[in-house]
Every structure is written in C-alpha cells, then in structure tokens.
Amino acid sequence: LLCSIHTFGKAAGCHGAVVAGSSTLISYLVNYARPFVYSTALPPHSLISIRQAYESMMGPVGERRRRVVFRWVRLFREEISDGIAALKEEFPGMDFELLPSPSPIQAVVVPGNERCISVCQYLRNVGKFDVYPIRTPTVAKGKERIRIILHSHNEEKDIH
C-alpha cells in the first residue's frame, strides 16, 4: 500500500485530509509537492476541531451515540415493511425496495425520478419525515431512491 488518505468531513464534521505513508513518500511530497502541501495546510483551529471530534467519537460519548443509532437502525429495518405496505396503498402500482445496509444511511428504491420525488414530498408533507430523493443521473436509471438517515438524536417515536 503506497499511502492512505484520511478525510475529516462527514463523520468528524470538520474539513481537510491527511496523507499517511512511508517516510520516503512523505519526504517526496514535502520536497516535490510543496505548493500543494502548503496551500492546503489547515489552520490551528481546524486541527483543534479535528482532535476534539475524534476524542468525542472515540470516547464514551461517541460509544453511547453509536449504540443508540445502531439500535435505531435495527428498529427501522424491523419495522420498515409496515411503512412500505402503507406506501403501496398510497401509491398503487409503485415498487418499493429496501436496500441492504447496516449503516445509519438507509435507502428505499422508488424507480423513476418523478415517482421518487412525489413519494419524498408525500413523506415530508404527510409523515413529516426529512427524506431526500436520490435521482438519475446520480444513481442508475430505475434505481432512484429515497435516502433516509437515522441519527443518535432521533427518538423511538421518530422511527415508528
């Protein structure tokens, strides 16, 4: 493995990235990629934010939040069949498919951009769910989907 790149967005809620590699690689980057290295260097406050984010994620707070969110993932996946049945009644003739995912990001395939948008609007307006359509060309035609994100701050009533 030549190197690995670690980003600090998304889970850490920060910005920036690092390249980890052998001392030979790092020496090469320092000597031949100086404009890139120094033009993208993070300011001290960003480094402090990254450190604090990782301390939180890897400490007891992060562990508690992971336990909670994965409990919501299990509950969501156990109960989604009732929600899909209700959607089939509201939108006769439409197909809905829950994609396999162990993560807090879940997806239900609703083929067709317009169909996917209309189901999302229905869920936002009637169900008060904060869901988003992922449409073609972002995903393959016929694989448009509703993106559902579960959070540790959700409550059980949010999932039922």
What's the pTM?
Answer: 0.77
The alpha carbon of 143 is separated from its chain's Cα centroid by a whole number of angstroms, namely: 18
CB-hemisphere CA count at 13 Å for 17? Answer: 10
Helix (H, G, I), strand (E, B) or coil at 112: coil
Q: What is the pLDDT of residue 10?
A: 81
Around Cβ 17, how many Cβ atoms within 10 Å?
12
Q: What is the pLDDT of residue 34?
A: 79
Whether the upstream peptide bond of residue 92 has omega within 30° of 0, thus cis, is no
Helical residues (DSSP H) of the chain, grouped into ranges: 23-32, 34-39, 44-58, 60-90, 113-125, 156-159
In the predicted model, residues of the chain with pLDDT beneath 70 are: none
